[in-house]
Amino acid sequence: MTLPVPVVWSEDCLRHEPGGEVWLGVRDDGTEVPARALVLRDALTVAGAPVVAAVQHGDEVVRTVHAPELVGHLAGVWAEWAAAGLPADYGRDRVVPYVFPTAGMLAGLPGRVPPAVHGRAGLFCYDTMTLVGPGSWAAIRGAVDAAPQQCGDRGAGAAGCRGASDRGARHRRPPRQRHPDDLL
């Protein structure tokens, strides 16, 4: 039996090594690990799904569906985290937010972008379960590169994926992120 749905695969997806998840304030092993991606890919292959290589695309593809501020944050947050000395000086080997400045939390106060990277991390996510590490941006880009192919792109870019989930199965592992329009 051959599945009609291809798996668009990028080896870069394996570079997201979150180093665990923080749940109820405690770091656990986590579930969003490279081995999970391999299990899913291999199971789909055994079931008859063809595997095709993702083709690299520019950032304009991801910016068709995500705000430039979010893309910039994900592209540079690990480098900023490391430059701030958080891994070397404090043993914080992954980006993990600890404050989430939502409109409800601010209770009418104007939103601001914190100057420190550890303060900004919560602007772009909604939980502490998927941490960002040194390979996360490459993994995110791998998923971005798979998106247009997976959606049957014919020049529509990533925006062509909206409503096109029946066209393919792509394993998306990057951090669960959000863009707080009310803060930026």
Q: What is the CATH number of the domain that holds 126?
A: 3.40.800.20
**Number of domains the chain is built from:** 1
Residue 162, domain member (yes or no): yes
The pLDDT score that the predictor gives to residue 165 is 42
Structural domain contains residue 126? yes
Residue where the block lists tokens 């993994």: 139
Across the chain, mean pLDDT equals: 82
Q: 33 is in which domain, residue-wise?
A: 7-167
Could you tell me if residue 183 is inside a domain?
Answer: no
Per-residue confidence band for 13, with pLDDT thresholds at 50, 70 and 90: very high
Say if residue 178's pLDDT is above 50. Answer: no
**pLDDT for residue 168:** 43
Mean pLDDT along residues 20-37: 90
In this prediction, residue 36 has a pLDDT band, given cuts at 50, 70 and 90, of very high
Determine, yes or no, domain membership for 174.
Answer: no
Q: What is the mean pLDDT of residues 4-13?
A: 90
Decide if pLDDT at 176 tops 70.
no
Q: Is the pLDDT of residue 55 over 60?
A: yes
Which residues are paired to 22 by β-bridges?
A: 27
* Cα–Cα separations (whole angstroms), residue 3 to 43, 102, 112, 149, 169: 12, 43, 49, 16, 11
Tell me the C-alpha distance between 39 and 25, whole Å: 28
Q: Is residue 178 part of a domain?
A: no
Please report whether residue 172 resides in a domain: no
Q: Is residue 13 part of a domain?
A: yes
Distance CA 95, CA 46 (A): 36
pLDDT tens per residue, range 86-99: 999 999 999 998 88
- 180 is a domain residue: no
In this prediction, residues 67-92 reach a mean pLDDT of: 94
Q: What is the pLDDT of residue 152?
A: 64
Residue 28 pLDDT exceeds 50: yes
Q: Give the confidence band of 5 by pLDDT, cuts at 50, 70, 90.
A: confident
Neighbours of 59 (CB within 10 A): 14
